[in-house]
Structure 1
Amino acid sequence: MPTAPRVDLRSDTVTTPTPEMREAMANAVVGDDVYGEDPTVNELQQTLACMTGFEAGLFMPSGSMTNQVAIAVHTRRGEEVICAEGSHIYEWELGMMATFSGVVPRFVPAPLGVPDPEQVRLAVRRSIHQSPTGLISLENTHNKAGGTVIPLEVMAQIRKVADDEGLPLHLDGARAFNAAAALDVPITEVCRPFHTVSICLSKGLGAPVGSVLVGSKQLIGQAHRYRKMMGGGMRQAGVLAAAALIALRDGPARLQDDHRRARHLAEALVNAGYDVNMASVQTNIVYATLPDAQRKVDAWAEKGVLGSALGPDAVRLVLHHQIDDEMLHRAIQVLTA
Structure 2
Amino acid sequence: MKRPAKDVKIFSGSSNPELVHEVCRMLGVPLGVAKLSRFQSGETYVSIEESVRGADVYVFQSFSHPVNDHFVELLVMIDALKRSSAGMINVILPYYGYARQEKQDQPREPITAKLVADVLTTVGAERVITMDLHAPAIQGFFNIPVDHITALDLIADYLRTKDLSRAIIVSPDAGRAKTAERLATYLDLPVALMNKRRPKHNEAEITHVIGEVKDKVPIIIEDMIDTGGTLVKVIEGLVEHGARKEGILCATHAVFSHPAHERLNHPLIKEVVVTDTLPIQRLDALPKLKVLSVAPLFAEAIERIHTNRSISSLSLDTSRP
TM-score band, normalised by shorter chain: 0.3 to 0.5
Larger RCO, structures 1/2 (Cα 8 Å, 6+ apart): 1
- Structure with bigger strand share is 2
- Structure with bigger helix share is 1
Normalised by the length of structure 1, the TM-score is 0.35
